[in-house]
Amino acid sequence: MDLLEYQGKQLFERTGVAVPDGDVAGDVDAAVAAAERIGYPCVIKAQVLIGGRGKAGGIKVATNVHEARNHAEAILGMDLRGPRGEGPFRVAWVWVEGASEIDAEYYASIILDRSAKKPLAILSRMGGMNVEEITETDPDALARSYVEPADGLGIEQARELALSAQIDEDVVLGVSEAMVRLYEAFVSNDATLIEVNPLVVTASRDVIALDAKVTIDDSALFRHEQLAAAEEQPADEQERMAKERGLTYVKLDGDIGILGNGAGLCMSTLDVVANAGGSPANFLDAGGGSKADAIVDALEVITSDPKVRAVLFNIFGGITRCDEVAAGIIEASSRVRLEVPLVVRLDGTNSAQGLGMLAKAGLDHLHVEKTMLGAAQAVVELAGKA
């Protein structure tokens, strides 16, 4: 789960990382009230999960109440796209905070390094840029230090990191303390990423986090009820439907709906369809033990996407039994009006029974294929005709 900036800042505040004074607002009046309380100049920032919000017009400075109202009106409800075309995301919340007088901008992050199996603390005096840009521009300006999970990040290690990043001498202590607290926030909130870009030094030489990018491990949300409750619903209709039904679904750009059992087989199915010249509309993993209800749910979600012109079910039964999947397909066809062709490939445990059941049911729009490649070719052809 990715946190919005304001959620990240609230989390920083709880662990003692300094952030600008601010309020979150969901409508224009609340935003204006926040600006009035905080004073001017203040910054009104769109709360959406993309980078480059400033360039996209989602961050504006207000120097008086009229500007605050104008900016809040402009930003709330606007649709923002990320630098790589992500979105659009509609702005439901703004964060209003006091503008900071900035002396220096640093980059700070704690990430989970999968290869090393350790958290990695990164610090750079070149704030404002992302890590890739810093690496390209001046790799020496990026200081890294692995943290032993059993020991945590202590002030000495943080100080060494700050020194090797060539942070201004007078703020080495402040930056080191911020790193230690960010690490505490990383561990205590089950984060897999904390990035502060920029971590700024103000004119009064205070160290504060001006932005917050935080990713929380979904598997750990059961012990962070407050964060779990704050999770935004997916903007995409099918993704929202799938989430309500407990399905693992990812929307893609194409027109061929896909269901597979098991994440690996499902990914592989997308690839095989793409190799056959088709374009998948989604990833949907029906899970290891796909029962009839899951099949009904899955078909409802897939076919609710108006782009979908044909559907492929690729099932290799291991623990999943193909006769149960067939029962699910037959059940689903009586509950969901199927208007596009459905190609089914059933193999593995009890596949003969499952295929027999499908043949007997004689469903409209149903095409049965023996192999994964054959099924992929068939669904691509059917989507082309539709």
Interface with another protein, residue 192, by CB under 8 A: yes
Amino acid (one-letter) located at 216:
I
Active site residue 107: yes
CA distance 176 to 154: 9
Q: Supply the minimum distance, in Å, between the C-beta of residue 228 and another protein.
A: 13
What residue has token string 């693992």? 248
Cβ-based nearer residue to another protein, 48 or 201: 48
The stretch near another protein (CB under 8 A) out of 61-69, 199-207, 258-266, 325-333 is: 258-266
Q: Among 123, 349, 375, 382, which residue sits at the site for another protein (rule: CB under 8 A)?
A: 349
Q: Quote the DSSP letter at residue 219.
A: G
Q: What are the tokens at 281?
A: 């509309």
Closest to 36 in 3D by CA, of 16, 75, 62, 10: 62
Comparing CB distances to another protein, the nearer of 104 and 112 is 112
Give the separation between CA 122 and CA 116, rounded to whole angstroms: 14
Tokens standing for residue 289: 């033990």
Per annotation, catalytic residue among 5, 97, 177, 195? 195
Question: Looking at 92, 265, 292, 338, which residue binds another protein (CB under 8 A)?
Answer: 265
Locate all alpha helices (DSSP H) within the chain, ordered by sequence.
5-15, 28-38, 65-75, 131-137, 155-164, 172-188, 225-229, 237-244, 263-275, 292-303, 322-335, 351-361, 372-385
Does 151 bind another protein (CB under 8 A)? Our answer is no
Q: Which positions from 160 through 189 interact with another protein, judged by CB under 8 A?
A: 187
Task: Out of 22, 174, 257, 262, name the contact with another protein by CB under 8 A.
Answer: 262
Buried/exposed code over 246-263 (b: 16+ C-beta within 10 A; e: otherwise): ebebebbebbbbbbbbbe
Is 195 part of the annotated catalytic residue set?
yes
Among the candidate windows 19-27, 36-44, 159-167, 248-256, which touches another protein by CB under 8 A? 248-256
Residue 150 or 170: the one with the smaller Cβ distance to another protein is 150
Q: Under rule CB under 8 A, which residues in 13-52 are in contact with another protein?
A: none
Catalytic hit among 5, 6, 97, 107:
107
- What are the tokens at 242? 């799938």
Smallest CA-to-CA distance from 153 within 125, 190, 121, 129 is with: 121
CB nearer to another protein: give 73 or 236: 236
Q: What are phi and psi of 363, to 5 degrees?
A: -75, 145
d(CA 310, CA 299): 11
Contact pick of 16, 39, 83, 149 for another protein (by CB under 8 A): 149
Which residue in 115, 136, 229, 337 binds another protein (CB under 8 A)? 115
354 lies in the site for another protein, by CB under 8 A: no
Q: Which residues are catalytic?
A: 107, 195
Binding site for another protein (CB under 8 A): 84, 86, 112, 114-115, 117-119, 132, 149-150, 187, 190, 192, 217-220, 222-223, 248, 250, 252, 260-268, 270-275, 280, 283, 285, 288, 316-319, 347-349, 371-373
